[in-house]
Structure 1
Amino acid sequence: MTSKHTPGPWVVHDHPTDPYQYGHHVTTADGLTVCSVTYQLPVSTLNGVEEATRIANARLIAAAPELLEALIRLESELVEDKYGNDYEPSPFENLAVARAAIAKATGESA
């Protein structure tokens, strides 16, 4: 499977990027911005979203490439052993959940 998203790893920068825009910025290791979880004023709560929640959201986004890769590897191991034996249908009931998450992240059908 080839990736269409910006390759990881992604990192979070928890500091303002300019005097007027505060936020948590998710970038590639070489500094390419993937996304920003921002706000206009340095307040602890903005529109009911706590600062800790904004940081947690940025960290979850930054972990996305690694989470997707881990899920793809686990999905593969659940249906095929190291000798190439295929176990479809898999006895693991959560495999459908894993496949749906992979499909959502990659834009493909489950």
Structure 2
Amino acid sequence: MEFNGSKSPWHIGSHPFEYRNRHTIRSDDNTVIAHVSQPSDNEQSARADADVRLIAAAPELLEALQKLLKYHDDFYGSEPNEDPEHPLAVAKAAIAKALGQQ
């Protein structure tokens, strides 16, 4: 199944009318994907910065994981009865979650 959300790449940037303490993630067509508040506490601020980077990278991460699993399945074949803790099963579950299948 294909991702039906805003197309990548997603960028981190602020719109001039948004609050100064907010990070905004936007798609290439300038659609707002998310706002992440920037707390004043340094530890929480560092965590918010990391969250923003992860959200902005999400489409590329999903696409890379899908390509990696396709490569694996094409080369080695699929393994339908995997242990749920196996890295392939974890990757498939993450993809299903991102695509709204879980």
Please report the TM-score for the alignment, with normalisation by the length of structure 1: 0.74
Q: Higher relative contact order by CA 8 Å / sep ≥ 6: 1 or 2?
A: 2
Distance in 1 between residues matched to 2:30 and 2:80, nearest whole Å? 43
**Structure that is richer in strand per residue:** 1
Identical aligned residues as a percent: 37
SS in 2 for 1:35: strand
**Structure that is richer in helix per residue:** 2
- 49, 54, 62: which is aligned to 1:55? 49
Q: RMSD across aligned C-alpha pairs, in angstroms?
A: 2.7
Q: 1:5 to 1:19 in 2, by over 3 A?
A: closer
Distance in 2 between residues matched to 1:37 and 1:107, nearest whole Å? 22
Moved more, 27-36 or 56-65: 27-36
In the alignment, does 2:83 pair up with 1:94?
no
CA contact (8 A) 1:12 1:58 kept: yes
1:18-33 correspondence runs (5 A):
18=17, 20=19, 22-33=21-32
- Listed as ranges, the gaps of 5+ residues in structure 2 are none
Q: CA deviation at 1:17?
A: 3.8
Q: 1:76 to 1:17 in 2, by over 3 A?
A: same
Q: 1:80 to 1:100 in 2, by over 3 A?
A: same
Q: CA deviation at 1:18?
A: 3.1
